[in-house]
Each structure stands twice: as C-alpha cells, then as structure tokens.
C-alpha cells in the first residue's frame, strides 16, 4: 500500500512549457496524481537542468519541503504553499535531508551545503567544500554574510545524507562519498564517476550508478552486493526524442532513491519512471512510468506517509 512522492525536471523544455512537477504515486494501484506543475517565467534557460524543475524532497511534522534551483518551498500535505525562502548562496540546488532541527540543502552552484532551521525558518549555517584533488577541506560560513564562497561549482555536489555519525555528501566530481564529522571532511568510500543519491546503507553503500544504468548496493561482504538494471522502455514508445537541443536528455538516466522498508528500495529514472527493487530477494517488483517523454527525469523521491 506504499505511496511515493516524486519530483521531476524537464530537460530541453521551452519557455511557456512545464519544466517539472511533483507527483504522488500509489504503488498498489499505479495511480499517479500530479500535485504541482512547475512553469515559471523567471528561470535560467541555459543547458542541463539549470533552474528548471523541482528537486529534493523532505517531509517532517506534516510539512513538505521541496527545493527548486534557488528557492526552498514549504507546503502542507494538501500542497498549499506555506512560504518560500531564498539565500545568496543557494543556487542549482539538488537533494535535501532533514536531521534534528535543520534541513540541509546541497547548493551545487557554490560547492556548499546550507542549513535551514526548521523552527526559526531561517538559513543559519553553511559548509563550503574545497579540494586539491587529493584532500578535502570544509569551511563553515554564515549564509547571512557576504564573505561566503564563490559560485564555482567544481565538485557539483548534489546529494546529502545525515545521521548521528555526521553528514555524507557526494557529487558528480567528488570521487566518492564524503564524510563531514563536524570538524573534517574525508573520503568515506570511492564511487564511480557520475553517481547520484549515494548513502550509507546497512553494511555498505547504496547509490544510482547513473553512467552504468544500474542501481547498486555495494557491501563490505561481496556476497551481499546487488545491482538492478534501470528499466529500459521500448524505444518505439518514447516521445520528444528530438526536442532536447542540449542533447542531455536520454532514456534510463537513473536518479532518485529512497528506502521503502527493510531491504526494499525505490529508484527513479528517465523518462519519469519509478522501479521498486527488493535487495533481499534480488528482484525488481512494481514499475510505474509517469510519462514516455524522454526529457522528463525523476529527481527527488521519498515515501509519502499520508
């Protein structure tokens, strides 16, 4: 009876067209309900996703937190807008996560994380990550000051996971899953280039191996390793295959990942498709496709508890 909430981005969309949305997916009935349609005129239309689409999702105390490229939105569970917040260091945001009293946002354009206080509803802390290619350094900064990081986007940080052991951060060019323990940033585990949604899981790490078109669980015990193929739609059923002038959009681009239950996960891909994988049985279960338009890609993915 599990339901999921997913956000999408639309690569190669034109002004005046939808460039993303938020959807509720009932895995039992495969019913899809669109809750938000993102169609703003004040967005950046340069390549890749840029300002288009909705990104990370987090749910806490009957509030739904969703980020677009440079803005945080809070909704109630009926998707009535509570408010929105911007910051000078918030740009090209991707995934988000809630831990204790803060929402952590990956500000990809600044190689940084921003923390938003859930009760005070203000940005109160930032972490900029630098590297010389071998070592990493995390520098804290105040989001309200003008002496923060420059918008360089060297690591393309796009994912955040939080637990009692610290912050786990990864990106297209981070080389792996980074760990911030409150003082230092170190490499926790190396990962293939271009991975998404990397996170510690049980005795290993779970992630979208996007370039290889698979979802992987890599364990310290190799016998427990799992790899699930991203769903491959019949090419004859795909639409809008020639409408993305940037050439970025492609089928089977894997992104979006959440834990449904013990050993059961959901993973997103393009065109907007969600697949359920069982690590215990090593099988793929339900597969739900929202659209066959190849420009539409799942971004955020979480369990919908309502």
Range 244-248 contact pairs with CB under 8 angstroms and sequence separation of 24 or more: 244/11, 244/12, 244/294, 244/295, 245/12, 246/11, 246/12, 246/47, 246/48, 248/11, 248/12, 248/47, 248/48
Q: What is the pLDDT along the chain (306 residues), one digit of tens a residue?
A: 699 999 998 876 555 455 689 999 999 999 999 999 887 544 454 544 454 679 999 999 999 999 998 999 999 999 999 999 999 999 999 999 999 999 999 999 999 999 999 999 999 999 999 998 789 999 999 999 999 999 999 999 999 999 999 999 999 999 999 999 999 999 999 999 989 999 999 999 999 999 999 999 999 999 999 999 999 999 999 988 876 555 667 899 999 999 999 999 999 999 999 999 999 999 999 999 999 999 899 999 999 999
**DSSP state at residue 230:** P
Cβ count near 10 (within 10 Å) = 26
Q: Which CATH superfamily is domain 3-304 in?
A: Kelch-type beta propeller (2.120.10.80)
Domain residue spans of the chain = 3-304
Decide if 252 contacts 279 (C-beta within 8 A): no
Using alpha carbons, select from 141, 201, 211 the residue that is nearest to residue 168.
201
Quickly tell me which residue has 């338009």 as its tokens. Answer: 293
Q: pTM of this prediction?
A: 0.94
**DSSP state at residue 242:** T
Residue-wise burial string across 227-264, b where 16 or more C-beta atoms lie within 10 A, e elsewhere: ebebbebeeeeeebeeebeeeebbbbbbbbbbebeebe
Burial of 24 by CB count in 10 Å (0-12 exposed, 13-18 middle, 19+ buried)?
middle
Using alpha carbons, select from 231, 147, 229 the residue that is nearest to residue 128.
147
Decide if 153 contacts 161 (C-beta within 8 A): no
């Amino acid at each position: 009876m599990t339901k999921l909430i997913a956000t999408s981005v639309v690569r190669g969309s034109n002004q005046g067209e939808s460039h993303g949305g938020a959807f509720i997916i009932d895995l039992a009935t495969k019913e899809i309900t669109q809750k938000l349609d993102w169609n703003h005129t004040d967005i950046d239309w340069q390549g890749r996703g840029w300002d288009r689409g909705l990104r990370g999702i987090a749910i806490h105390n009957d509030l739904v937190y969703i980020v677009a490229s440079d803005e945080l939105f809070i909704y109630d569970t009926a998707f009535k807008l509570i408010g929105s917040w911007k910051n000078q260091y918030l740009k090209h945001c991707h995934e988000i996560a809630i831990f204790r009293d803060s929402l952590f946002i990956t500000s990809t354009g600044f190689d940084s994380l921003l923390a938003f206080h859930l009760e005070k509803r203000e940005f109160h802390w930032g972490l900029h990550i630098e590297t010389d290619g071998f070592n990493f350094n995390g520098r804290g900064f105040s989001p309200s000051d003008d002496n923060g990081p420059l918008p360089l986007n060297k690591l393309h940080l796009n994912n955040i996971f939080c637990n009692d052991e610290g912050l786990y951060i990864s990106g297209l060019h981070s080389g792996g899953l980074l760990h911030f323990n409150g003082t230092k940033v170190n490499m926790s585990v190396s990962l293939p280039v271009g991975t998404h949604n990397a996170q510690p899981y049980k005795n290993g790490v779970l992630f979208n191996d996007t370039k290889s078109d698979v979802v992987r669980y890599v364990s310290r015990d190799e016998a427990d390793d799992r790899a699930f193929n991203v769903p491959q739609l019949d090419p004859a059923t795909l639409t809008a295959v020639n409408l993305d002038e940037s050439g970025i959009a492609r089928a089977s681009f894997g992104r979006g990942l959440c834990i449904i239950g013990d050993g059961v996960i959901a993973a997103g891909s393009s065109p907007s498709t969600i697949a359920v994988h069982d690590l215990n049985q090593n099988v793929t279960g339900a597969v739900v496709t929202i659209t066959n338009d190849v420009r539409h890609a799942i971004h955020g993915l979480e369990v919908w508890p309502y």
